[in-house]
Amino acid sequence: MDIVIRPVSPDEHATLGEITAQAYLQDGLLTFGESDWYLGELRNVAKRAAAADVLVAVTDGEVLGGVTFVPSGGPMADIAGPGEAEIRMLAVSHAARGRGAGEALVRACVDRARATRGCAGIVLSTQESMHAAHRIYERLGFVRAPERDWNPIPDVDDLMLLTYELTL
């Protein structure tokens, strides 16, 4: 199966938004489930695409998943410092998992970071339970940076996000 990684097109925003929302919901990654405020952010691909590079993994015309690549200094960065790009909202539909789409999306982000002038590294946040994603990151050379772990909702004690980084 050939997986093509390319920028999302506007007619795919709703599809990718739903893939991303369902991946987070079905994997139990949203603290407040269907009522979680972040669900709206996950579905709002148009907003992300206006502020960052949103990529999709496609095969035979089917969107398998996507990722948001935030170039160094981009407005959607959560944790990236000067000279760092950031990967956000990586999601692959449940039906497409295990086919290489997630790894292809991460590789595309690493390639974009390497091609970005002045970019010396790439960072990402992940939840402790995302073991399959951790394996992809580690296989591609990312290392844990526990000193950069953070909590996006300080009032929720069990929402610590783990940080991985890759020096380019």
> Which tens digit of pLDDT belongs to each residue from 110-135?
999 999 999 999 999 999 889 999 99
Please compute the mean of the pLDDT values over residues 86-91 and round it to a whole number: 97
d(CA 134, CA 100): 14
Neighbour-count burial of 96, counting CB atoms closer than 10 A to its CB (0-12 exposed, 13-18 middle, 19+ buried): buried
Taking the mean position of all CA atoms in its chain, how far away is CA 90?
3
Number of neighbours of residue 120 by Cβ within 10 angstroms = 14
Please compute the mean of the pLDDT values over residues 51-64 and round it to a whole number: 97
pLDDT-derived band at 157 (thresholds 50, 70, 90) equals: low
**Structure confidence at residue 22 (pLDDT):** 95
With pLDDT > 90 as the criterion, what percentage of the chain qualifies? 80
**What does the H/E/C string look like for 75-133?**
CCCCCCCCCEEEEEEEEECHHHCCCCHHHHHHHHHHHHHHHCCCCCEEEEEEECCCHHH
Q: Which CATH number applies to 4-167?
A: 3.40.630.30
